[in-house]
Structure 1
Amino acid sequence: MPERANPVKDGRAARWEGQRERRRAEFVEAAIAAVEEHGPEVLTEQIAAHAGVPRPRLYRHFDGKADLQQAVCRRILERLTDDLTPIWHGGRSPVELITSVVDTIVHWLTEHSALYRYLARHSAGSRPGGTQDRADALTDFTGTLAVRLSKLLRTVLELAGRDVRGTGPLAFGVVAFAEAAIGRWLAKPECLTAEEFGAALVRGIWTLIADFLAERGVDVDPDAPLPQGLAASMLDPAASAE
C-alpha cells in the first residue's frame, strides 16, 4: 500500500516554510534600510545589524550573498512597480502617460539614489561573470515596461489596419534609451533639474514613437486621451512583445 502522508509533519513543514518566507522578507526590508543608510557598498554585517541578528543567521534564509542581493533588487523594483501601477489605467493622453511614467521613475530614483546604485551594482547582467540563468530583477522590470509599450503600439496599428511588425524592437529600444538617459543623468546631472531632464526625456521618447507610427501612416494626437480598452490591453498579463 502507498505510504500515507503524515498530516502533522506536513503541517509543520508548511508552517516552517511560511515562517522562513516571512523572515526572509523581513531581512530583505532590513537590507534595503541598510542600503539607504550606508550606500550601495553596504556590508553584510551592516545588514545583519539592521535585522538584529548575527550574520550566520541571516544567511540561513538565503543561498549565499548573491541570493540575498537579488532578493533585495527584486524588492526594490517591486516598490517602484507599486508606484507605477496606478498610471496604467485609462484617461491619460499619450504624452500624459509617458510623462507620468518618466516623472515617477526619475523622482523615485532621485529620492532613492542609493537603491538605484545598488541595482546597477548587483544586477546579474551587469556583473562580469554573472550567471545568466539567474533571474535579473532589473531586466524583468525594463522588459515589462517594453512589453507594455509594444502591446500599446501594436494595438494602435491594428486598429488603423497598419503593419504591426517592428513594434517589439522599437519598444525595447525606447526603454533602453530611457534607461541609459536616466542612468547618465543620475550620474552627471549637468545642471539639469529633475523636471527639466524629465521633460526633455519625454520629448525624446514621444519623437521616437510618433516617427515610428507616422512611417506607417498613423497620426496620433499626443494630447488626446487614450481609449480605456487600449490601457487595459497594456495590463494584459498574457501580452508578449513581438
Structure 2
Amino acid sequence: MADRTGGEPQIDGRSTRWDEHKARRQVDLVDAAVALIEEEGTRFRVQRLAERVGLPRSVLYRHFKDRAALDELIRRRVVDSFMRRMEPTLTFEGTVEDAVHRVVGAHLDWVAQHPRLYAYMGVAEHAMGDGSLVADTKTAIALMLSERFGEVLKALGVPQAPIRSVAVGIVGFVDTAVNQWAHDERREQSEEELRAMLCRSVWAILDATLRDLGVEVSPQQRVSDLGPH
C-alpha cells in the first residue's frame, strides 16, 4: 500500500518475517536432505525426507518450486562443501611437494569422506555432466590454481605463460581419475596408491611445464621462496 504522503511503499513486516522463516526452513530441509543421502545413499526420495523432518510431503513442497528446485539446492550444497574443503589448500605453505600433496589429498579425502554425496552427483536423474564434480566448480579451482602459478612464475621472471591451460588440465585429470576410482567396483588401486600416483603425475606435469619455460624447481623447495607470500 502506497504512503499517502507520496513516500516509498510500505513493506508488510509480516511478509518479511515469513520470507525469512521460509528461507531458514529451506536451509534446514536441504541440510536434512544432504544428511539423508549421506546415510541412505543416492536414490533420494522426497517421501523419506518428509518422514525424517516430520512434515507431510505436500507441506514440504511449499518450500520448493518443485523436485528439480530441491535437487539444485542439494547440488549447490554439495559443491559448497567441496569448495570449503579445497580453498584453504591453495596456499603457499610448505614445499612444492607439500602443496601438491595438500591439494590432491584434499580432493581425494573429500570424496572418500562423502562417497554418497559424490555418487549423488552422478545418479542419472541428478547427473551433472559426466557425473564428476560440476564443471563450474572445476573451472573455479583451475582459475585459483592458475592465479597462484602465475604469481610464482612472475617472481621467477616468467611473466607470460599458458599456465591456465595447464591448471585446467591438472584439475580435469585429477577429478576424472578420482571419479573413475570412486565408481569402480573392482578398484585396481587402493586409496593410498591412487593418492601417490596422482601426486607423482601432477608433479610430472608441473615439472615438464616449468622446464619448457626454462625454469628448474626442486619439489623440496618451499613455495614461499619461489613467489610472493
Tell me how far 1:81 sits from its aligned partner.
Answer: 2.5
Task: Kindly report the root-mean-square deviation, in angstroms, between the aligned alpha carbons of the 2 structures.
Answer: 2.4
Determine which structure has greater relative contact order: mean sequence separation of CA pairs < 8 Å that are 6+ residues apart, divided by chain length: 1
The offset of 1:229, in angstroms, is: 9.6
Query: In structure 2, which of residues 17, 20, 23 is the aligned counterpart of residue 21 of structure 1?
Result: 23
Secondary structure at the aligned position of 1:91 is classed as coil
Separation in 1, partners of 2:226, 2:49: 45
Q: 1:168-223 CA deviation, whole Å, 9 max, x = no partner?
A: 22211111111110011112262422111101111111111211111011122222
- The match for 1:79 is 81
Deviation at 1:228, TM superposition (A): 8.4
Gap regions ≥5 residues in structure 2: none
- Aligned pair 1:180/2:182, yes or no? no
Give a deviation string over 1:99-151, Cα, whole Å, max 9, x none.
11222221221222111011123244458xxxxxxxxx822321221011111
Q: 1:37 to 1:163 in 2, by over 3 A?
A: same
- Alpha-carbon distance, 1:66 to partner: 1.6
The CA distance in 2 between the partners of 1:63 and 1:177, in whole Å, is 36
Equivalent of 2:138 in 132, 135, 142: 142
Worse overlay, 158-167 or 100-109: 158-167
Larger-Rg structure:
2
Deviations 1:30-49 (A, max 9, x none): 11121122211111111222
Q: How many residues are paired up?
A: 221
* Residues 1:209 and 2:206 are matched in the alignment: yes
Identity of counterpart residues, as a percentage? 27
Q: Distance in 1 between matches of 2:53 and 2:207?
A: 49
1:192 matched residue in structure 2: 189
- Matched position secondary structure for 2:134: helix
Q: CA offsets per residue over residues 22-72 of structure 1, 9 Å max, x none?
A: 111111111112112221111111122222212222222222112211211
Q: CA deviation at 1:165?
A: 3.6
Distance 1:230 1:142 in 2: 24
2:205 maps to 1:224? no
Against the structure 1 CA distance between its residues 88 and 173, is the aligned structure 2 distance closer, same or farther, given a 3 Å change threshold? closer
d(CA) in 1 for partners of 2:222, 2:7: 62
